[in-house]
């Protein structure tokens, strides 16, 4: 993903990698606990956006979603079907199991400069 962003003109210095974001819940929890974020914009596939924003807000982040280029249904029906199950698991993780990431790690400072 990093390489795709750089290829589209995003400076590499504006990208911070999350090496322990093994699942969406991990990434959202780590955004606050490790990277110190409180507000963020989530750029992801259209079918993944609702779950990502739900998890972020449930974990105390002020989040909005921005869909990436739409993936045609015929090329994404397997992951779109999987997303239905993932939304159920996300609700269970938040409301029943109170799931936390496997790894938090040390704090990582993100330098937020002027908008591009």
Q: List, for residues 63-110, the tens digit of each pLDDT value.
A: 999 998 888 888 889 999 999 999 999 999 999 999 999 999 999 998
Q: Which of 21, 26, 28 is nearest to 63 (CA)?
A: 28
Rounded Cα–Cα distance for residues 89 and 82 (Å): 11
Average confidence (pLDDT) over 33-56: 96
Instruction: DSSP letter for 66, please.
Output: E
Q: At 11, is the pLDDT very low, low, confident or very high (cuts 50, 70, 90)? A: very high
Higher pLDDT: 115 or 57? It is 57
């Amino acid at each position: 993903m990093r390489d795709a962003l750089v290829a589209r003109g995003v400076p590499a210095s504006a990208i911070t990698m999350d090496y322990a974001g093994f699942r969406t819940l991990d990434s959202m929890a780590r955004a606050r606990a490790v990277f110190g974020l409180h507000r963020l914009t989530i750029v992801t596939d259209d079918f993944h956006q609702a779950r990502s924003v739900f998890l972020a807000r449930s974990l105390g982040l002020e989040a909005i979603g921005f869909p990436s280029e739409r993936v045609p249904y015929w090329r994404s029906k397997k992951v779109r079907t999987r997303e239905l199950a993932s939304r159920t698991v996300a609700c269970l993780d938040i409301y029943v199991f109170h799931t936390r990431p496997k790894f938090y790690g040390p704090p990582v400072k993100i330098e937020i400069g002027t908008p591009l």
